[in-house]
């Protein structure tokens, strides 16, 4: 029964991949978005990364349907800290819980949280950077000094500090915290783009035609800013995933027994010498996801910049 | 040169002041105040009242702020409820150990990263190039605490060549000679430094590789070749010198991530540094300590960035004000 | 007839990329005698720079010199030498200077160090002696206060001074041949004259030969005794400088001369050669100039012309050499008619 479910999930993945493949190899010459996608598809590593992400998101979307056991169900004590077996594919932890299901649900949590947090970071960072760049002058300098101040604090330290002050954190607070600490680099990026675009003729032309500043920003500047932001966002998701795991590892993330990849590792930490599988598998999941996002981000960067010299 | 330094110092001070204000704001917004969560520790109420008075916790906001800034500027960072002593004393004991770890990790990361980048650029397109890029990217994508755990598993448990945790073997530290003690600490440093290096050298290598390729395309490389300079000297002398310039900037930028990486790595290895103290202060709500570590790490980063900027001016004659 | 200093035979340098094969230099042959100044003219894209880089084997991936080419320096085939041997030739027997001295000099080393580097990579000279020679050379090329100047960096000098430094660097070991790739293009006209003056002075003093590459006919007229005109990777005309200016044969040469703005002539518009230089991935069939030529006829599209002998020391790659009557029937070139090219 379970095997059938997994097979249908695999079929779904195949369908998605085929569709994307057709999209990137159109009959006629690709232009615009499709051209970017076609260029992206030319990098084998980026394609594998995208494939991995599709597989992961499909699996976690159907996690309740695909998991072997209930993730928080405690099986009898005699099953505690058992190595991987047919019953418990990734083994069990100190409380006798199935690691495989916990990893599935934990990955689901991590993957979705990180997307939400990155979305917040992108919105805030873009708005902040665009404002600073457009306004210029003393206000711009002050705004960027503030960003410098934030950037001088190692992110994990800032997260720990805020997490400690507001412990315990609920899911919403966690997403907000992760998002609101991840926008600084994006704001710098956006500001730089806005500054260079501001001087260009098209803005002067729009102004000459009487367009209001906000409209100018929205219609002319933002679309150009999009490229580096998308790349930065993709790479940023990888960072957020790791940071969320770090917070959970420290005990500041979502509380037990809800699984998050970080707190599964935390559970396995004291038993690392004897029950190493508990810490191993969630870590592998983290590495795979982070690696996939990093490779995808690189691929996007190359695909979107038409001036790339061959590396 | 001096003007450059003065300018940078002023900027740095502005940033530190902003961070201090930030910590003040956070402390104020959080529920409770630094001395309200004492858990099950028995502290004389009179002592607590003394702290509250000293840090103006019962006065209106602006006065509190002034009080805070004055205290920080004077080096008084509050009182740690978990350590039962002034935060300043805690930091004096623990920060040097983090710096020890940091400096070694920085050196190892940059040495490895630069060497890797140079080789990768030289052998562009070969298996050595993209193979090593792949491997380093895998390490770069790992969570620091997990890599630390895996290294402990591999090299302290399964193949017991390095100690599992801590900074030193207590017996060696107290009874054996200075040299034996130094070696012992060194052994304890290997795994933490290796963790930090593996994590960050990918970024440095990638940067250096790109810099080498960019510089290698420049005209003066062709000129050097046309002069009859041997290829090895061209790479070593002409290209590297120019390609190292952006690396110095990278060093300044990498400081926050290295310092951040230290927190969890210190925790896993029980390396008694500032990160370790911070991580363990979390569960006990030791506000003063946690906030002070924010301030201290920020100061370290600012100092590091200024040092990087000055180094850049030394190395690149074009940047020096005439 | 003494052996020429440099003898190039059927040089072909191709670039193999994913877009195809670019035949940048496609069968170029010429000689340079000792103490001779030869100019190479042509528009950008004609292959003159690639030719000069090929002489010193400075062509990098994806370009390579095709087998069958021969470059002989006083009899020795440079293409057969190993890496170390060709390195010893560079900067030593044959030296090269480039167009943009700002980017051609390393920004982080002093000019003295860059000059001193030349003798140091070729012999066991001490640092101090090398530095002394560098200062001496700076004086020779006309840099004021050479001892002080040697300690400055490239960005602290003007364009003209930087070019003098480049020339000095090239001359450190008294090479037999100096290749100058567009040495004055990036400079003001007055400085241009100074640099050319310096070059000819040094040439007289040392007896070295110069291969001067430029797109500027004016420069060639002043400083060379023999001119090679290149187009589409080939030599299309070669003659003594006076002969070339008095009696240009190839329509491309004619076009270049007509396009030169000249003071004193009353002309409303500049004459241009219609069309554009073709792509090296795809040279036209037959005569490579036929689409832009005002005299072309059917033969030109079908038959690739060899280098015909026009007079003493004057060759031209044009069928007009055997059918001179066609010159009396000029027409609008193909390129102008179809609007092909820019």
pLDDT tens digits for C48-98? 889 988 998 888 878 888 888 899 998 888 888 888 888 888 888 899 988
Q: Which residue has the tokens 């006629």?
A: A28
Buried b (16+ CB within 10 A) or exposed e, C211-240: bbbbbbbebbbbbbebbbbbbbbbbbbbbb
Report yes or no: B318 at the C interface, CB cutoff 8 Å.
yes
Cis peptide preceding A304, ω within 30 of 0: no
Position A117 pLDDT exceeds 90: yes
Q: Is the dihedral of CA A144, A149, A153, A159 positive or negative?
A: negative
pLDDT per residue, tens digit, chain B (322 aa), is 677 788 888 888 888 888 888 888 888 887 776 676 665 566 677 777 777 777 777 777 788 888 888 888 887 777 777 777 888 888 888 888 888 898 899 889 888 988 888 888 888 878 888 888 889 889 999 999 999 999 988 888 887 777 777 777 777 677 777 778 888 888 888 888 999 999 888 888 888 888 888 877 788 888 888 888 888 888 888 887 788 777 887 777 777 777 777 888 998 888 888 888 888 887 777 888 888 888 888 888 888 888 888 888 777 777 766 5
Residue B205, CA distances (Å) to A2, A232, B119, C224 in order: 45, 19, 9, 50
- Cβ contacts of C109 on chain B, cutoff 8 Å: 241
Give the angle B297-B300-B301 at the CA atoms, nearest 5°.
90
Best mutation target among A141, A156, A251 (most B Cβ atoms within 10 Å) is: A156
Residue C204 burial (C-beta neighbours within 10 Å; 0-12, 13-18, 19+): exposed
Tell me which of A37-41, C102-106, C239-243 is least confident: A37-41
- By Cβ distance, the residue of B14, B146, B257 closest to A265 is B146
Q: Place A291 in a pLDDT band, splitting at 50, 70 and 90.
A: very high
What per-residue confidence (pLDDT) applies to A308? 47
C166 to B242: CB separation less than 8 angstroms, yes or no: no
Q: Is the dihedral of CA A15, A17, A23, A27 positive or negative?
A: negative
A291 to B301: CB separation less than 8 angstroms, yes or no: no
Neighbours of B132 (CB within 10 A): 19
What per-residue confidence (pLDDT) applies to A213? 64
At C16, is the secondary structure helix, strand, or coil? strand
Give the angle C245-C251-C252 at the CA atoms, nearest 5°.
80
- Cβ contacts of B225 on chain C, cutoff 8 Å: 58, 90
Q: What is the least distance, in Å, from the CA of B156 to any CA of chain C?
A: 47
Q: Place A36 in a pLDDT band, splitting at 50, 70 and 90.
A: confident
Buried b (16+ CB within 10 A) or exposed e, A264-296: bbbbbbebbeebbbbbbbbbbbbbbbbbbbbbb
- Cβ contacts of A272 on chain B, cutoff 8 Å: 149, 152-153, 157
Q: What is the least distance, in Å, from the CA of C107 to any CA of chain B?
A: 8
Residues A186-229: tens digit of each pLDDT? 998 888 888 877 777 666 676 677 666 666 656 666 667 788 88
Best mutation target among B264, B282, B289 (most A Cβ atoms within 10 Å) is: B282
C118 to B219: CB separation less than 8 angstroms, yes or no: no
Position A309 pLDDT exceeds 50: no
Nearest CA in chain C to B231: C87
Report yes or no: B83 at the A interface, CB cutoff 8 Å.
no
Position C341 pLDDT exceeds 60: no
Position A120 pLDDT exceeds 90: yes
Residue B112, CA distances (Å) to A309, B205, B246, C121 in order: 26, 8, 16, 29
B241 to C56: CB separation less than 8 angstroms, yes or no: no
- Cβ contacts of B256 on chain A, cutoff 8 Å: 151-155
Residues A94-108: tens digit of each pLDDT? 888 888 888 999 999
Average pLDDT, rounded, for chain C: 86
Average pLDDT, rounded, for chain A: 83
**How large is the ipTM?**
0.85
Taking phi first (over 0 means left), then psi (-120 to 50 degrees means alpha), and beta for anything else, what does residue C282 get?
A: beta
Report yes or no: A54 at the B interface, CB cutoff 8 Å.
no
Q: Which residues 8-37 of chain B have a CB within 8 Å of chain A?
A: 14-15, 18-19, 22-23, 26-27, 29-31
Residue A286, CA distances (Å) to A64, A251, A290 in order: 20, 17, 6
- Cβ contacts of A162 on chain B, cutoff 8 Å: 26
- Residue B94 in tokens: 């623990």
- Rg, Å, chain C Cα set: 21
Half-sphere exposure of residue A180, counting CA atoms within 13 Å on the CB side? 10
Torsion of Cα atoms, C258 then C260 then C264 then C265, to 10°: 30
| Cα maximum dimension of chain A | 78
Cis peptide preceding A208, ω within 30 of 0: no
At B67, is the secondary structure helix, strand, or coil? helix
Q: Which residues 191-220 of chain B have a CB within 8 Å of chain C?
A: 218-220
d(C-alpha C222, C-alpha C226), whole Å: 11
DSSP secondary structure letters along B24-59: HHHHHHSSS-TTT--TT----HHHHHHHHHHTTTTS
Tell me which of B38-47, B109-118, C18-27, C274-283 is least confident: B38-47
d(C-alpha B53, C-alpha C265), whole Å: 94
- By Cβ distance, the residue of C103, C107, C118 closest to B227 is C118
B181 — phi, psi (to 5°)? -65, -45
- Cβ contacts of C166 on chain B, cutoff 8 Å: 223
What per-residue confidence (pLDDT) applies to A27? 66
Report yes or no: B315 at the C interface, CB cutoff 8 Å.
yes
Position A125 pLDDT exceeds 90: yes
Closest CA to C64 of C50, C76, C78: C50
C305 — phi, psi (to 5°)? -75, 140
- Cβ contacts of B285 on chain A, cutoff 8 Å: 164, 167
Under 8 Å between Cβ of C189 and C158? no
Under 8 Å between Cβ of B268 and B152? yes
Query: What is the count of residue pairs from B and C with beta carbons less than 8 Å apart?
Result: 76
Closest CA to B163 of B144, B183, B178: B183
Give the angle A151-A53-A284 at the CA atoms, nearest 5°.
75
E strand residue ranges, A32-108:
none
Q: Place A307 in a pLDDT band, splitting at 50, 70 and 90.
A: low
Q: Is the dihedral of CA C182, C188, C194, C197 positive or negative?
A: positive
Query: What is the count of residue pairs from A and B with beta carbons less than 8 Å apart?
Result: 145
Under 8 Å between Cβ of C210 and C199? yes
Distance of CA C262 to the CA centre of its chain: 23
- By Cβ distance, the residue of A164, A294, A309 closest to B141 is A294
Under 8 Å between Cβ of C107 and C155? yes
- Rg, Å, chain A Cα set: 23
Distance of CA C280 to the CA centre of its chain: 18
Q: Which residues pair with B195 in a beta bridge?
A: none
Closest CA to C288 of C241, C247, C229, C328: C229
Q: Place C229 in a pLDDT band, splitting at 50, 70 and 90.
A: very high
d(C-alpha A124, C-alpha C59), whole Å: 50
B305 — phi, psi (to 5°)? -65, -40
Q: What is the least distance, in Å, from the CA of B144 to any CA of chain A?
A: 8
Q: Which residues pair with C228 in a beta bridge?
A: C40, C238
- Residue A276 in tokens: 């190493």
Best mutation target among B125, B224, B227, B322 (most C Cβ atoms within 10 Å) is: B227
Under 8 Å between Cβ of B283 and A163? no
């Amino acid at each position: 029964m379970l095997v059938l479910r997994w097979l249908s999930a695999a079929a779904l993945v195949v369908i998605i991949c085929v569709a994307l493949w057709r999209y990137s190899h159109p009959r006629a010459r690709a232009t615009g978005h499709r051209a970017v996608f076609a260029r992206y598809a030319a990098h084998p590593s980026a394609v594998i990364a995208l494939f991995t992400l599709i597989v992961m998101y499909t699996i976690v979307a159907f996690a309740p349907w695909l998991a072997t056991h209930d993730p928080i169900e405690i099986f009898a004590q005699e099953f505690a800290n058992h190595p991987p077996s047919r019953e418990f594919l990734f083994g069990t932890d100190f409380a006798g819980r199935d690691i495989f299901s916990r990893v599935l649900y934990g990955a689901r949590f991590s993957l979705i949280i990180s997307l939400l947090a990155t979305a917040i970071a992108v919105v805030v960072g873009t708005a902040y950077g665009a404002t600073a760049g457009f306004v210029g002058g003393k206000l711009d300098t002050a705004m960027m000094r503030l960003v410098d101040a934030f950037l001088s604090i190692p992110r994990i330290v800032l997260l720990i500090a805020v997490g400690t002050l507001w412990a315990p954190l609920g899911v919403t607070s966690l997403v907000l915290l992760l998002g609101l600490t991840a926008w600084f680099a994006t704001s710098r990026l956006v500001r730089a783009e806005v500054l260079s675009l501001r001087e260009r003729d098209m803005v002067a032309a729009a102004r000459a035609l009487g367009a209001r500043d906000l409209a100018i920003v929205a219609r002319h500047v933002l679309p150009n800013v999009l490229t580096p932001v998308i790349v930065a966002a993709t790479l940023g998701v990888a960072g957020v995933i790791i940071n969320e795991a770090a917070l959970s590892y420290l005990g500041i993330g979502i509380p037990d027994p809800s699984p998050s990849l970080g707190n599964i590792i935390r559970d396995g930490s004291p038993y690392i010498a004897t029950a190493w599988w508990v810490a191993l598998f969630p870590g592998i999941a983290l590495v795979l996801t982070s690696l996939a996002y990093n490779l995808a981000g690189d691929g996007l960067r190359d695909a979107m910049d038409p001036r790339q010299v061959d590396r | 040169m001096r003007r450059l330094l003065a300018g940078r110092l002023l900027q740095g001070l502005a940033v530190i002041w902003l961070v201090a204000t930030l910590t003040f704001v956070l402390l104020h917004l959080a529920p409770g105040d630094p001395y309200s969560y004492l858990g099950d520790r028995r502290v004389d109420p009179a002592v607590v009242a003394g702290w509250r008075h000293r840090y103006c916790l019962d006065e209106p906001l602006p006065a509190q702020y002034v009080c805070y800034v004055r205290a920080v500027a004077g080096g008084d960072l509050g009182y740690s409820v978990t350590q039962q002593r002034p935060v300043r004393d805690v930091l004096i004991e623990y920060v040097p150990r983090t710096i020890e770890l940091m400096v070694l990790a920085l050196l190892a990361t940059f040495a490895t990263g630069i060497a890797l980048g140079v080789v990768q650029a030289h052998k562009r397109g070969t298996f050595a190039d993209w193979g090593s890029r792949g491997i380093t990217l895998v390490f770069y994508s790992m969570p620091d605490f997990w890599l630390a755990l895996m290294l402990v598993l591999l090299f302290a448990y399964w193949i017991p060549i390095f100690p599992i945790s801590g900074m030193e073997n207590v017996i060696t530290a107290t009874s054996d000679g200075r040299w034996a003690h130094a070696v012992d600490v060194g052994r304890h440093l290997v795994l933490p430094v290796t963790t930090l290096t593996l994590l960050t050298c990918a970024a440095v290598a990638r940067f250096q590789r790109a810099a080498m390729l960019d510089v290698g395309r420049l005209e003066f490389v062709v000129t050097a070749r046309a002069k009859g300079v041997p290829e090895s000297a061209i790479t070593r002398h002409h290209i590297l010198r120019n390609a190292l310039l952006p690396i110095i900037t990278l060093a300044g930028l990498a400081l926050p991530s290295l310092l951040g990486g230290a927190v969890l790595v210190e925790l896993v290895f029980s390396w008694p540094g500032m990160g370790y103290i911070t991580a363990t202060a979390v569960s006990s709500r030791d506000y003063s300590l946690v906030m002070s570590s924010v301030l201290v790490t920020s100061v370290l980063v600012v100092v590091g960035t200024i040092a990087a900027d000055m180094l850049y001016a030394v190395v690149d004659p074009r940047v020096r004000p005439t | 007839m003494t052996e020429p200093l440099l003898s190039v035979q059927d040089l072909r340098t191709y670039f193999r990329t994913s877009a195809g094969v670019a035949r940048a230099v496609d069968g170029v042959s010429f000689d340079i005698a000792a103490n001779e100044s030869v100019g190479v003219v042509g528009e950008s894209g004609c292959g003159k720079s690639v030719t000069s880089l090929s002489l010193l084997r400075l062509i990098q991936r994806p370009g390579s010199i095709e087998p069958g080419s021969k470059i002989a320096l006083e009899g020795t085939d440079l293409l057969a030498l190993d890496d170390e041997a060709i390195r010893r030739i560079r900067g030593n027997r044959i030296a090269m200077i480039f167009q943009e001295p700002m980017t051609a000099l390393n920004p982080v080393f002093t000019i003295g160090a860059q000059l001193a580097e030349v003798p140091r990579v070729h012999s066991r000279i001490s640092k101090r002696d090398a530095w002394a020679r560098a200062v001496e050379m700076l004086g020779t090329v006309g840099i004021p206060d050479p001892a002080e100047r040697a300690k400055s960096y490239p960005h602290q000098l003007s364009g003209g001074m930087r070019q003098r430094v480049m020339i000095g660097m090239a001359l450190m070991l008294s090479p037999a041949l100096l290749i100058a790739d567009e040495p004055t293009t990036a400079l003001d006209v007055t400085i241009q004259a100074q640099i050319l003056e310096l070059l000819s002075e040094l040439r007289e003093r040392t007896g070295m030969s110069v291969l001067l590459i430029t797109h500027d006919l004016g420069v060639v007229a002043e400083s060379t005794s023999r001119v090679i005109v290149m187009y589409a990777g080939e030599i299309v005309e070669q003659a003594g400088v006076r002969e070339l200016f008095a009696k240009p044969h190839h329509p491309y040469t004619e076009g270049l001369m007509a396009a030169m703005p000249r003071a004193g002539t009353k002309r409303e518009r500049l004459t241009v050669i219609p069309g554009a230089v073709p792509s090296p991935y795809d040279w036209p069939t037959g005569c490579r100039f036929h689409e832009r030529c005002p005299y072309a006829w059917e033969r030109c599209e079908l038959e690739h012309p060899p280098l015909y002998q026009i007079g003493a020391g004057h060759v031209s790659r044009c069928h007009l050499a055997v059918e001179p009557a066609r010159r009396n029937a000029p027409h609008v070139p193909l390129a102008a008619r179809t609007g092909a090219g820019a």
